[in-house]
Every structure is written in structure tokens, then in C-alpha cells.
Structure 1
């Protein structure tokens, strides 16, 4: 396993699945054993572009792989994981882990019984800006609050999940990653055509920090922004531009102690530019090989994020009852 190529199967060839296929085709030490999509014609067309095989018999195909990547619709995640966890060494499941917390716990029980490694597709953990932000916050005197803003006009490809499970779930994971476990949750939102399309949530963490999250699929502008208020700095982190700005104040007092001036200082943090999905899949393949110690979003991360997401959805739903 340490020396030979890792054989990977890919389920689901929507937009995200095709992105996975593109990156997998670039990875050294990886063989794409097969691709699969519920639309067989679509699967054949995509497979032909990359010179890979499609799976005509999914159960037989999975028996010949080391790892499986699940990029199918959210409602099918649990079905595929429960079906194949006993048969593969490792599973990568796109976010969210499952369509419900109950389904996620069923996955937890199944994979623990077979020792299967599960990585959840929280790609923002691998965004170079987030990697840099984590270092900046680690050096801060005290983190008080972090604000997360994520907006994107509704995509026609998203019809099965609301904005909490589609967009906000990324920032729920980041809030837990950066601020720790949550003590209380409050939320408000806007419902359109039976789905939450705008959500605002406030989390109080067990360590006393606050997280404020806003996600929207009715906002025309695409935004991916994290802003952190600390005792000694304010941090702007743009996930799209991969930019971090640190703002500080310096106070200069006159010798007679009768006057002082406040000056603002701004510092830019240099971050890498490597594609997050490439880093994410490289980390997954290393885990399949039994190597690596990166802070990988594993099964527990997927379950914890789902629990908070369900609390947020319930709070918004009650407000619209």
C-alpha cells in the first residue's frame, strides 16, 4: 500500500464530481479505477474525456478499489457509505456527510464496525487563506468573535438542500475548527419555495468565543469572507482572493501626557495559492496510505457540523411556522 498506486473509484459526476476527476487525474500514485453516475450516458461521455472506465456493475467495481469518493446528491450519501464501508479501506464523502443527523450516526456506527477511514469534503479547511488565518489567530492575544459571510446566487444545480446545508455548512465546520465546540445556537432566516435561502446564525462557544454566520443564495454578489475580532487585532480574510489583512492600532502619547495620537497599521499576510481541492485530495490519499498528520475533517467533524446545521434549520423553521 505504501509503494503501489492507490486505486480510487468515483461516484457522481456532477460539477463537483467532475472537479474531483480532474484533480485525481493529476495525482501521482493514483489510478482511477472507475467512475460512476446514475446517468450512464453522461458517465460514458465524461469517462471518455479522461480515458477511464465506467462501472457497469458497481458492486463488482468497488471490490477492486482501495478508496471510494462519493460526490453524489446529499440524499444518497448515507446509502452509498453504508453499502460500501465494509468493502473499502477509505471513503471520501462530499459535504454534508449525510442528509440528516440520524443518517450520519448510522454511518458512524457502520464505519466504526469495519475500521473504515472517512474524510468529509470540507474543502475550505484546505483553502490557503484559512490555513494562514488559523496561524494568525493562534498568535492573537485573545479571539473574541469571528464573523463568516458566504453568499452566492442560487444555482440551478442545487435543488435538494437549503442554504444551510449547501453553503453555511462550510462555515459551521470552520467555526467549530477555529472556535471549538458550541454551547448555544440561535438563528433567523428567509424561506422561499419551501427552502431556506437566507440564514443568519449566532453561536456561543464553550470557550466563550462567538461566531456569527450569514449565508445567502438570494444575494447577487458572491462573497466568501471571514472577519475576526481579537484583543490586539482585527483580521480580514477573503477566501476568494486568498488574502489576509491584519489591522492594528498604535497609540503615541506626548511627553507632557496631555495629548496622544492613534495610528492605524495594516499588515498583509502572504498565503499560498495551491488549489484547495488538490491539497484536500492529496491529504486523503496520504491518509489512505496511512501517512500524514494534517488536521483532516474526519467523521466527527461531519457529525458535529450536521448537529449545528440541524439546530439552525430547526430555529429558522420554528420562526416560519
Structure 2
């Protein structure tokens, strides 16, 4: 299959770098880039030896359905591109998180296409593929922590100029929304949220969220205004406490008697994510994280926004 990048910005460049190394391993070729900015498109084309297209329409007109696009364009374009690719018979599609910024349109697409088609659309919730998180899931399966009491996630850092079309909830907090639901295995029973406009007038730049699962509570703090970048989660259980650092890819487990640092085989999460998707293409199976999971995360994120309307500052 012909793989390609749609959007030659920061994430598009990262996917291009990884796919240029992985594609051949799974019998594919990295062959195209779609980028409306001619300078960016031609620069990426020259760097990786790709064919440059200015638009998705131009790509589909020349290449047809035998392609696998990796959508890394602005969030506001995601859903229209997914719709265009699916309506033209493209089978496998990767789209960066969040799935989109229009919940109504995302839900319409979920009704427009078959389950089997949408299960081959992968949404890039990258932290699911962080080796430290994978190790945490193993620890929980082994019952190393006992029953969960609380989970606390903190995802803060400076503002990224490249992300200007969505607020911190759809940009950053949605990572932990996804992980929270994945850890619990169900949707939260109750949501409380607060969000703030410190420096931006268009989008919230700081938020605090609480998910009540009945059995345990998960709190999420996220902002784009802190000078120090931090990506951590602490899980408190009846038998132990675990501290996970997504940046350092470390996982420490504490009991009343000892501290254990779990062995984490460190690897770039984006490389793990892309490789798992390529495996699903080769095997003909559904994507590791499907459209429906991306839609569920978007639905919960919009509930967070709705619940916090009366609490925003």
C-alpha cells in the first residue's frame, strides 16, 4: 500500500520520519504528502522522496483508493478528510487526536458508514502506546495496586503556537480522558469540571476535571500556561501507590514496606503507535484504537466543556 502524510506540520513530519523507517518492513511504501503550503509540501517531498499534492481532492483523483493517509492537519479539517477518504473507498485511515472539533459531524459520520469501515480508522491517542502506560496496564492486571481509590493526572506545560484551533481540553486533557476510560473500562458516572481563560479569549487554556466512577475518582489537571512541562499520573490503590511519568517513561510502585521500579522497555510512543497500525493493515484487522473510541473521547470532552460552563473563569 502507498502510505502518505496529510499535513506537513510538526506531527506530519514526525509520522513521515517514522514511516520512512517502518513502511518497507510491512510491505508498504511512503509515497506522498498532502500540504496546501507549497514550500512545506515541496520541502517534505524532497526530504523523503515523496510526491506532493496540494489537496486531498488532487490526491484522490490521481491515486484512487489504494492509499493509507496519515491525517496530521489542523483539527478542524479532520472529519471532512475522513469523510472524503471513506466516501472514495479508502480502507485504512490514521487521524491524529482529537478526532475532530465538531461533535455533531463526528456522530453523523458514525451513522453514515459501516462499523467494519470505521473500525479501520485509527485515532492517534498516543499515550496508549507509551511503554510506561503499557507496563502500568500489566501491573494492574497482576493486581499489584489492589483496588483503585484515586487516580490523579497532571498534564501541563507552555503554550504550543502550532495548536491554535482548539482549547486545552481537546488538545491536552483528552489524552487523560482516553486513559481514564481505558483504565476504568467504563464511562464515568459523574463529571465535574472547571476551566479558565488566563491568556486566551478564544479557547480555555487551563482546566481541572473530576470523573467519578463509583468505585474510584480520577482527577485531571491540564494547562498550556505553565513554563515547566509535566506529564504524570499517580494511582492510589488499597495495596500500593504507582507513579507514572510519561516523559521519562518510568513507573514506580510503592507499598508500606518497599519501592519497586518496574522495568520499562523505552521506545518512542509514536513509533509504537504507527507500527501497531501498520500491523493491523498487514493482517487486515481493525485498528488498535478505532473511530468509535475517538468518538467516545470526543463526546466525553464535550460533556466536560458543558459541565464546566457555569464554573469557567
Fold match (TM-score > 0.5): yes
Matches of 1:48 and 1:74, distance apart in 2: 26
Structure ID, larger Rg: 1
Please give the secondary structure, in 2, of the residue aligned with 1:77. Answer: helix
TM-superposed CA distance for 1:293, in Å, is 8.4
Aligned to 2:30, the other structure's residue is in SS state strand
Instruction: List gaps (5 residues or longer) in structure 2.
Output: none
Higher strand share: 1
- The structure that is helix-richer by fraction is 2
Pick the aligned partner of 1:89 from 78, 88, 91: 91
The alpha-carbon deviation at position 312 of structure 1 amounts to: 1.2
Q: Are the aligned partners of 2:168 and 2:223 in contact in 1 as well (CA < 8 Å)?
A: yes
Please identify, of 26-35 and 218-227, the stretch whose mean Cα deviation from structure 2 is larger: 26-35
Distance 1:143 1:137 in 2: 9
Structure 1 residue 200, shift from structure 2 partner: 0.4
Alignment of 1:1-321 (within 5 A): 6-27=1-22, 28=25, 29-56=27-54, 57-63=58-64, 65-86=66-87, 87-112=89-114, 115-116=117-118, 117-140=120-143, 141-180=146-185, 181-191=187-197, 192-205=200-213, 208-249=215-256, 264-290=257-283, 296-320=288-312
Contact 1:34 1:61 survives alignment (8 Å): no
Normalised by the length of structure 2, the TM-score is 0.91
- TM-score under structure 1 length normalisation: 0.89
SS at match of 1:182: coil
Segment drifting more, 55-64 vs 221-230: 55-64
Q: Which moved more, 1:181-190 or 1:308-317?
A: 308-317
Structure 1: unaligned runs, 5 residues or longer? 1-5, 250-263
| Contact 1:55/1:61, CA 8 A, preserved across alignment | no
C-alpha contact 1:89 1:288 (8 A) present in aligned 2: no
Deviation at 1:128, TM superposition (A): 0.3
Partner Cα distance (2:236, 2:284) in 1: 36
Name whichever of 104-113 and 285-294 sits farther off. Answer: 285-294
Q: Distance in 1 between matches of 2:312 and 2:262?
A: 43
Q: Aligned equivalents of 1:119 and 1:194: distance in 2?
A: 29
Deviation of 1:7 (Å): 1.5
Once the two structures are superposed, residues 68-117 of structure 1 have per-residue CA deviations (whole angstroms, 9 ceiling, x without a partner) of: 21111000001101111132111111000011221221222233277251
Q: Secondary structure at the match of 1:115?
A: helix
1:225-265 Cα offsets, whole Å, 9 max, x none, are 0110100000000011011110001xxxxxxxxxxxxxx41
Structure 1 residues 44-53 or 103-112, which shifts more? 103-112
- Describe the shift of the 1:223–1:38 C-alpha distance in structure 2 as closer, same or farther (beyond 3 A): same
CA 1:68–1:178 in structure 2 vs 1: closer, same or farther (change >3 Å)?
same
SS of 2:93's equivalent in the other structure is: strand
Tell me the distance in 2 between the aligned counterparts of 1:64 and 1:308: 32
**Pair 1:161–1:235, CA change in 2 (3 A):** same
Aligned length: 300
User: Does the Cα contact within 8 Å between 1:283 and 1:292 map onto a contact in 2?
Assistant: no
SS for the counterpart of 2:122 is strand
Deviation at 1:36, TM superposition (A): 0.6
